[in-house]
A and B are shown apart, each in its own frame.
Chain A
């Protein structure tokens, strides 16, 4: 039973009964004013709103600042590859691109990499280009060794924070973006998922038409720092 529902709750003392005449007298508490059930309902609603509000904010935040999510144009960038050449994403227009953010210290990435190697072999002739972006702080040598050990058959670029930011911050790895032939993002996979899920997203990207060059890439263009 709620304390407010006690039928014999003592009445507040009258001023005359209080030995300290100057002490403030608390207002009488009315038991019928608060319905515990209503409070619980309000509380549950508040918690639900907080939860969903947070979820929405997080989703929006993860896509910020440039990336609006699926169907938006993939932010363009130029990054150095392991062989020392610069590679620009927009040069791959007309191909379906699997942009895979990874790192040598990422265990799940190690599982995913052989799948990407196989998928590049399988769908390369249909126009798929896997591109790895290594987000390591460690040197190029470690990345090169990892890529060699894993038999990577696609370009690996040396990641920059600015590129990660353009793609929503990439807070955890692996994270893959599937870009259609028209340069638009058609799907995104965060964390390690099944090979089948990656393959489905690749097919989605391959199914797109190479449209006209999008014009909204300028603000999202990231150049490597000199």
Chain B
């Protein structure tokens, strides 16, 4: 079956791009953009940060098995009065590699998610805020390792007021009905 000429060219461009990617062998971890996040003041909201390790590469988990390996770590710099809770890293996979057949390394490969708890204080003015940070990781393939890198991490969070509380002691009628 013949494709339309421009469709054929598109396919070829994609093939060429694939060749580039393979030839370049650049290790990459990318962040999948975070959708809209709404967080209520004084309450904790969990934000999922999704990352993707390029095919053929792996990075150390947050808890690698050797003291010399560099753990993947997220460092965030939230705006004033927005507190970030403990970062929850996923468990890594125990895998052995051709360069270390007898030893299993704890790694992330493919897609993984890091969870961050956002806790806006009561003093935050409602509105949209940018939360910025970095993911530090160190990638390897089956035969070589690449120097540690940092990936910018960012997401926006919309802070809303907490719902107004109902009156605990509603006004009583001054009249006494017997």
Q: How far is the CA of A36 from the CA of B12 in the complex (A)?
A: 13
Among B70-116, those with CB < 8 Å from A are 70, 97-100, 105
Partner of B143, one of A1, A34, A192: A192
Binding site for B on A (CB under 8 A): 1-4, 34, 36-37, 39-40, 43-44, 46-47, 50-51, 54-55, 58, 103-111, 135, 137, 142, 146, 171-175, 190-193
Q: How far is the CA of A44 from the CA of B11 in the complex (A)?
A: 10
Task: Kindly list chain B residues whose C-beta atoms are within 8 Å of the C-beta of A193.
Answer: 143
A58 close to B68 (CB less than 8 A): no
Q: How far is the CA of A111 from the CA of B70 in the complex (A)?
A: 17
B138 close to A105 (CB less than 8 A): yes
How many residues does chain B have at the interface if contact means C-beta atoms less than 8 Å apart? 30
Nearest B-chain residue to A43, judged by Cβ: B12
Binding site for A on B (CB under 8 A): 2-5, 8-9, 12-13, 15-16, 19-20, 23-24, 68-70, 97-100, 105, 138, 140, 143-148
Known A54-B19, A55-B23; judge A4-B148 contact (CB<8 A).
Answer: no
Give the distance to chain B from A141, nearest Cβ to Cβ, in Å. 12
A-B contact count (CB 8 A): 98
| 21 A-B pairs with C-beta separation under 8 A | A4-B4, A36-B4, A37-B2, A43-B9, A46-B12, A47-B12, A47-B15, A51-B20, A54-B19, A106-B144, A107-B69, A107-B97, A107-B105, A108-B100, A110-B68, A110-B100, A111-B100, A171-B146, A172-B144, A172-B145, A190-B144
A46 close to B68 (CB less than 8 A): no
Task: Kindly list chain A residues whose C-beta atoms are within 8 Å of the C-beta of B148.
Answer: 105, 137
Task: Kindly list chain A residues whose C-beta atoms are within 8 Å of the C-beta of B69.
Answer: 105, 107
Task: Kindly list chain B residues whose C-beta atoms are within 8 Å of the C-beta of A103.
Answer: 145, 147
Q: How far is the CA of A54 from the CA of B9 in the complex (A)?
A: 19
Partner of A105, one of B19, B70, B144: B70
Known A50-B20, A54-B19, A104-B68; judge A191-B9 contact (CB<8 A).
Answer: no
Give the distance to chain B from A98, nearest Cβ to Cβ, in Å. 17
Give the distance to chain A from B33, nearest Cβ to Cβ, in Å. 28
Q: How far is the CA of A64 from the CA of B70 in the complex (A)?
A: 29
Give the distance to chain B from A153, nearest Cβ to Cβ, in Å. 19
B16 close to A50 (CB less than 8 A): yes
A146 close to B2 (CB less than 8 A): no
Give the distance to chain A from B38, nearest Cβ to Cβ, in Å. 39
Known A50-B19, A54-B20, A105-B69; judge A2-B5 contact (CB<8 A).
Answer: yes
- For A1, A43, A190, A193, the residue with the greatest tally of chain B CB atoms inside 10 Å of its CB is A43
B16 close to A47 (CB less than 8 A): yes
Give the distance to chain A from B64, nearest Cβ to Cβ, in Å. 9
- For A1, A44, A142, A172, the residue with the greatest tally of chain B CB atoms inside 10 Å of its CB is A172
A105 close to B145 (CB less than 8 A): yes
Nearest B-chain residue to A102, judged by Cβ: B145
